[in-house]
Amino acid sequence: MRHEADRDGPRSRRHLILDAAIEQFGELGFEYTKWADIADQAGIGETGLYHYFESKAHCLLSIMSSELDRSWQRFLQATANQEDHSERLRLAVASAFDVTPREALSARILLNHLNLLSTKRRLESEEEERRRSRAVVRKIEDAWATLIMDGIGAGVFAERDPRQTALAILGLILSVWRWYRPSGDFTLDEVSEFIAESCARLVDPRLFEAVAGN
């Protein structure tokens, strides 16, 4: 297999393959997508796919890895230099839904196949993407836990386990991609506002004290 830089050069068709795969995996599902159909949509012979990806699963894991990287970078940009803890939480949630239709499909694909990250892969290329994805997942979880811990330390958020709270928030955010559709009843702005409000309630010390007092 050629070096990564060769496959991503100016004449590379890798982005065409990924676009086709994201559309097919996102709309039809990974299991129901044929490798040959991705090749047809990308305008490349089926054997040519193996110049870029060793398998359909390698392509899937590459999409997942890229989506996690995008999510991580968007989180960093949204929360940088923000000292107000409540606003930092709101911006972090909003960053998760600041996506294009293509990125929304990628997020759905990631959610549907997170289980793939828990088991070692046989092919080296797949395992490399899996390990890269797991490393980014850890960074994202740690960053969210730190955000919550900082809010707790400042007396703004309820004194709950920060990692457990972070995982609950991440689970709430991820769950959106199971049901959200661009043609549905809610816009992403409305979804973002609703989830941000729900997360704010989750860390609200007044609500926590009221529940603990009962």
Pair 49, 69 in one domain: no
Pair 77, 12 in one domain: no
**Which of 11, 34, 53 represents a domain boundary (last residue)?**
53
d(CA 200, CA 93): 10
Instruction: Name the helix (H) or strand (E) containing 89.
Output: helix 85-96
Pair 32, 48 in one domain: yes
Pair 189, 109 in one domain: yes
* Residue 89: burial class (beta carbons within 10 Å; 0-12, 13-18, 19+): buried
What the block records as the tokens of 194 is: 């609703």
CATH code for position 68: 1.10.357.10
pLDDT for 2 equals: 40
d(CA 183, CA 54): 34
CATH code for position 32: 1.10.10.60
pLDDT for 10 equals: 44
Pair 69, 19 in one domain: no
Number of domains in the chain: 2
* CA dist 31 → 24, 26, 56, 71, 146 (Å): 10, 11, 10, 25, 37
pLDDT for 208 equals: 54
pLDDT for 8 equals: 55
pLDDT for 213 equals: 52
Pair 77, 180 in one domain: yes
Pair 199, 138 in one domain: yes
Q: Decide if 205 contacts 157 (C-beta within 8 A).
A: yes
Pair 48, 64 in one domain: no
Pair 79, 106 in one domain: yes
d(CA 163, CA 64): 23
Pair 107, 193 in one domain: yes
Pair 88, 136 in one domain: yes
Pair 94, 165 in one domain: yes
pLDDT for 207 equals: 63
Write out residues in the chain with pLDDT < 70, as ranges: 1-11, 207-214
**Tens-place pLDDT, residues 77-133:** 999 999 999 999 999 999 999 999 999 999 999 999 999 999 999 999 999 999 999
Q: Is the pTM of this model over 0.75?
A: yes
- Which residue segment(s) compose the domain that 103 sits in? 60-213
How far from each other are the two terminal CA atoms of the chain, in whole angstroms? Answer: 63
**Which of 34, 53, 72 represents a domain boundary (last residue)?**
53
